[in-house]
Amino acid sequence: MQDLLIRNALICDGTGAPARTGDLSIHDGRIVSVGSSSGTASREIDATGLVAAPGFIDPHTHFDAQLTWDGQARPSLEHGVTTVIPGNCSLSLAPLRARDREFLGSVFRQIEEMPKSAFDAGLEWSWESFGEYLDAIRNDLSINVAPLVGHSLLRLWVLGAESRERASTPEEIEALCDLLRESLEAGAVGLSTSFSDIDHEFRAVPCRLGTMDELRALCAVLGETGRALQVLPEFWEADLLLTRIDQMAELSLEYGIPTTFSPLFESTTTPDLVGKVRERLELHAARGARVVAQMQTRPIDMTFDMTIPNAVFSAMPTWFGTLMQGEEAIRGAFSDPATRAALVEESKTDRRPIALDFQLGQIRLSAATGPWKQQVGRSLADLGAELDLDPAEVLMQASLDEDLRARFTAESLAHFDAPLIARSIDHPQIIVGAGDGGAHVARFATYGDTGRLFSCFVRDLGALSLEQAVKRVTADIADAWGVEGRGRLEEGAAADVVLFDPETIARGPEELAFDLPGGGEDFRFIRRAKGVERVFVNGVEVYNASDGYSEARSGTIVDYRSGSVSKPAADAPEPIRRFTHPEPGDDWPQVAARHLADQPTDQAVTLLQSWNLHLVQRPPTNPMTPLDLVFLEPPRAEA
23 in a structural domain: no
Q: 395-413 in b/e burial notation, b at 16+ Cβ within 10 A?
A: bbbbbbebebebbbbbeeb
Supply the DSSP string of 412-448, one letter for each residue. EEE---HHHHTTTTT-TTEEE----BTSSTTT-----
CA distance 77 to 84: 9
Total domain count for the chain? 3
What's the pLDDT at 549?
A: 97
What's the pLDDT at 567?
A: 58
What's the pLDDT at 231?
A: 98
What's the pLDDT at 181?
A: 98
Same-domain status, 257 and 323 = no
Helices (H), 160-272: 170-186, 212-223, 238-255
Sign of the dihedral through C-alpha 209, 214, 219, 221: negative
Whether pLDDT at 563 is above 60: no
> Residue 166's domain is classified under what CATH number?
3.20.20.140
- Which range of residues forms the domain containing residue 618? 579-631
Nearest in space to 509 (alpha carbons), one of 468, 455, 459: 455
Angle of the 151-159 helix axis to the 170-186 helix axis, nearest 10:
130
Mean predicted confidence (pLDDT) in 272-284: 97
Same-domain status, 381 and 292 = no
| Rounded percentage of the chain residues whose pLDDT exceeds 90 | 80
- 83/518: higher pLDDT: 83
What's the pLDDT at 564?
A: 54
Q: Each residue of 319-378: pLDDT tens digit?
A: 988 988 889 999 999 999 999 999 999 998 766 678 888 889 999 999 999 999 999 999
Whether pLDDT at 565 is above 80: no
Same-domain status, 63 and 206 = yes
Supply the DSSP string of 240-267, one letter for each residue. HHHHHHHHHHHHHHHHT--EEE------
- Report the chain's mean pLDDT, rounded to a whole number: 93
Same-domain status, 263 and 164 = yes
CA distance 487 to 490: 9
215 in a structural domain: yes
Whether pLDDT at 568 is above 60: no
Same-domain status, 139 and 228 = yes
590 in a structural domain: yes
CA distance 49 to 21: 10
Count the Cβ atoms, other than its own, within 10 Å of residue 521. 9
DSSP state of 539: T
Whether pLDDT at 237 is above 60: yes
CA distance 344 to 357: 18
Same-domain status, 270 and 310 = no
Q: Hey, which residues does 575 pair with through a beta bridge?
A: none
Angle of the 212-223 helix axis to the 170-186 helix axis, nearest 10:
30
193 in a structural domain: yes
Mean predicted confidence (pLDDT) in 107-136: 88
Same-domain status, 403 and 422 = no
Same-domain status, 318 and 292 = no
What's the pLDDT at 67?
A: 97
6 in a structural domain: no
Whether pLDDT at 639 is above 60: no
Same-domain status, 322 and 400 = yes
Whether pLDDT at 388 is above 60: yes
Same-domain status, 95 and 233 = yes
Same-domain status, 178 and 290 = yes
546 in a structural domain: no
Is the pTM value of this prediction over 0.85? Answer: yes
Mean predicted confidence (pLDDT) in 450-472: 97
Nearest in space to 499 (alpha carbons), one of 471, 467, 532, 528: 532
571 in a structural domain: no
Same-domain status, 291 and 357 = no
Instruction: Examine the fold and report which residue of 441, 457, 490 is the final residue of a domain before the chain moves on.
Output: 490
| Rounded percentage of the chain residues whose pLDDT exceeds 70 | 97
What's the pLDDT at 36?
A: 85
What's the pLDDT at 597?
A: 93
Instruction: Examine the fold and report which residue of 411, 429, 458 is the final residue of a domain before the chain moves on.
Output: 411
What's the pLDDT at 351?
A: 66
Mean predicted confidence (pLDDT) in 460-478: 97
What's the pLDDT at 569?
A: 60
83 in a structural domain: yes
Instruction: Examine the fold and report which residue of 388, 411, 434 is the final residue of a domain before the chain moves on.
Output: 411
